Amino acid sequence: MKRYITICFALMLSASFTRADLTEAQSKKITQAVGRLISQIHYRQTGLTDEIAGHHLDRYLNLLDFSHMIFLQSDVEALTKKYGTSLDDHVKMGNPRPSSEIYALFIKRLTERQQWVDEILKGKFDFTKKERFLTVRTKEPWPKDNAAARKLWHSRIKLEVLNDILALDKRDTGKADPKKLAESRKKISRRYERLLKRMKDNGRDDKLDLYLSALTRAFDPHSDYMSPIDAKNFRINSIDMQLTGIGAVLTTDEGYTKIVRIMPGGPAGKSGLIHANDKIIAVKNPGDKEATDLLDMGINDVVQLIRGKKDTIVELTIIPAGKSESKIIKITRDVVKLEDSLAKAYIIERKVNGKTEKLGILNLPGFYSKCSDHCRTLIERLKKEKVDGIVIDLRMNGGGILQESIKLTGLFIDLGPVVQVKDYQGKNKVLGDTRRGIVYDGPLVVAVSPMSASASEIVAAALQDHGRAVIVGTETTHGKGTVQQILPLNRRIFANLGDDSGQLKFTISKFYRINGSTTQRLGVLSDVELPSVFEHLGMGEAELPRALEADKIKKVTYKELNRVEPFLTSLRKSSAKRVKEILEFNYINEDIVRAKKRLTDKTVSLNEAERRKERAENKTRIETRNKERSGRKQPAEKYFEIDVKGAEADKPLKKLAAPKPKIEKADSPPVPQDDSNTFTLDATLRETLDILSDYIRLRDVLPNVSRRE
């Protein structure tokens, strides 16, 4: 239920924890400590107020009932009247009564809903009616009474039954196995029985975890309370370097386990079966008679289910991003090689106007420790190979270490500010490149997407403000301009809290660009914009509840190189012309139309004939695209790769085979695949290279403009 991110690896050594339930006295002290600390040191500096109480209650109710189908509107109104402006006072006193009362009401309502599920499943469904069900209800009102709630639950169960009918009849024969359909209904019933049991079995520590997480998120979406078990898992995942599993970063979002990012080189990434924003709804391990449903399961319990020994198979039931139907995939667990997550470089060699052109790509999946040193090594090798220009690919880079982003920026500028950081006390600090010299002074393009966040946005913004690089990608990046810090609650300054008191993650400061604006909510606007489905999926920071506001501070003094602005009009015009002529971008634009429709209409048809028609149309569309792709004439190009170890040892470039044409599947997610560790040339990256090529030629035509500083 928590929107909490963890890395889903399984440790080589078995890790199990005994959950010692907290005493009431411990819970009270932890509640008081978290309330006092978050109100004093969080960036908002609002204190525990009546306003925070309202947000706290809202977050808590939504963590418990994300789909607004369990509580009634009268429940919410009564709780709001009682606690909407007083929850802050109860937190200050460490009073557990509100949390216990709300949770007890939640269990009562959930018990009633579970009984409804069994009753509904005994009846018949008419799949010929023109009905639709709204699957995303987080912003919808709670049902006004039991009759309205019962109607909602009938539609929800009807959807689950229809999904199973379609899954059991993929060839659209209209004749699914009756025995399997009967078992499907039993499975749905067991799903809600397990959900109720899991919620009833939650101990005081689980309930406190939820309650305090709701409190921290009343301040902003990135603050969190990490329970003792969360903290232990966090420490193990941070320290142990021998990891096995599927290699994925997970979060819980609205009751679902969702993929945040696929780790490059891991089993999940290599399989190509699962992608960012897919939802995992069930897990089946060898020896299990049936899959375990993950709906509303805590993230640590999910991790324990997905963990396992090397070479064992885990069966995952997933709902691909942007889809409503589920499918089952199998992934073989393996060691996740950390070196596969390191920076890599590629060279594309081709003929342009009769002249050989070499373009370099520097792919950086994340800002890990020493990544700037690795990038320096790779850039030096690209220079040795005499590349004409470089693309830094940050499209799947969600951020990382702040100092590394500053060092990376410093490879392309000779001294100067990179980013401003303002803390919760209002103190502003300017951080910048203090190392004299430029590693690479040639044509530079930075590729970005809505997945480019935090440290990636710092690099893109700084190079844009300095006039050093062309930013190419979606309209804007993710928009995360905040800094979090983790504080263990067992420090001596918090008397008598004990070792099992957990940790507090809180937002302590905010990033600002050197021009005074912020990346928070706004992201970094691309200089040359390319169409992408990504920006129409509602994934940005601005979509998160209680995200910090965008504002401005004073601009700092820095030297603007002005190497980009004189060429932007020409670059945009040439790119726009190509995009109109490239068939792959036509496909992207078609997908954007569908994505926009999904954003405005998040309902799913409960009519079987309509759903089968939608599936058939989707299959035809994909098959037509794949046939066209397979018949394309591939460009005459050469491709090379060099990794950090190879560059350090001065090994020869590794020649690569030409990337294969994209093969789309009928159930493929609408979001681009994270190919951070695989050499691919999708339409976006190829167009980015063409923009770099244009930039190189324009600089050659107007050398004085490109060097004016």
Q: Buried b vs exposed e over 503-514: b needs ≥16 C-beta within 10 Å? A: bbbbbbbbbbbb
User: Are residues 482 and 520 in contact, defined by beta-carbon separation less than 8 angstroms?
Assistant: yes
Annotated catalytic residue 187: no
The residue annotated as part of the active site, out of 2, 480, 505, 510, is 480
Cβ neighbours of residue 703 closer than 8 Å, sequence gap 6 or more: none
Parallel/antiparallel/unpaired status of strands 470-473 and 528-529: parallel
Report which of 579, 503, 5 is spatially closest to residue 229, judged by C-alpha positions: 503
Annotated catalytic residue 372: no
Annotated catalytic residue 662: no
Rounded distance between C-alpha atoms, residue 228 and residue 208, angstroms: 11
- What SS3 state is found at 668? coil
- Give the DSSP per-residue string, 136-197: --TTSPPPSSHHHHHHHHHHHHHHHHHHHHHHT-TT--S---HHHHHHHHHHHHHHHHHHHH
Q: Hey, which bits of 159-233 come out as E strands? A: 224-226
Quickly count: other Cβ atoms within 10 Å of residue 708's Cβ: 12
Beta bridge partners of residue 133, listed in sequence order: 604
Parallel/antiparallel/unpaired status of strands 416-423 and 428-433: antiparallel
Q: Report phi then psi at 102, rounded to 5.
A: -65, -40
Chain center to CA of 399: 11
Cβ neighbours of residue 355 closer than 8 Å, sequence gap 6 or more: none
User: Are residues 523 and 478 in contact, defined by beta-carbon separation less than 8 angstroms?
Assistant: yes
Rounded distance between C-alpha atoms, residue 598 and residue 586, angstroms: 19
Half-sphere exposure of 175 (CA within 13 A, CB side): 1
DSSP H/E element including 651: none
Beta bridge partners of residue 509, listed in sequence order: 423, 483
Q: Report phi then psi at 619, rounded to 5.
A: -65, -45
Tokens representing 346 are: 């590629």
Parallel/antiparallel/unpaired status of strands 428-433 and 444-448: unpaired
Cα-based distances in Å from 461 to 511, 557, 596: 11, 15, 28
Beta bridge partners of residue 529, listed in sequence order: 473
Q: Report phi then psi at 84, rounded to 5.
A: -60, -25
Q: Give, rounded to a whole angstrom, the gap between the first and last alpha carbons of the chain.
A: 53
User: Are residues 368 and 340 in contact, defined by beta-carbon separation less than 8 angstroms?
Assistant: no
Count of all residues that appear for the chain in the document: 709
Rounded distance between C-alpha atoms, residue 626 and residue 618, angstroms: 12
Beta bridge partners of residue 258, listed in sequence order: 251, 279
Burial of 398 (0-12, 13-18, 19+ CB in 10 A): buried
The residue annotated as part of the active site, out of 164, 296, 334, 465, is 465
The four Cα atoms 119, 123, 127, 132 give a dihedral, to 10 degrees, of: -20
User: Are residues 317 and 291 in contact, defined by beta-carbon separation less than 8 angstroms?
Assistant: yes
The residue annotated as part of the active site, out of 39, 184, 454, 575, is 454
Cβ neighbours of residue 515 closer than 8 Å, sequence gap 6 or more: 465, 555
- What SS3 state is found at 131? coil
Residue type, position 234, single letter? F
Rounded distance between C-alpha atoms, residue 539 and residue 251, angstroms: 14
Residues annotated catalytic, as ranges: 454, 465, 480
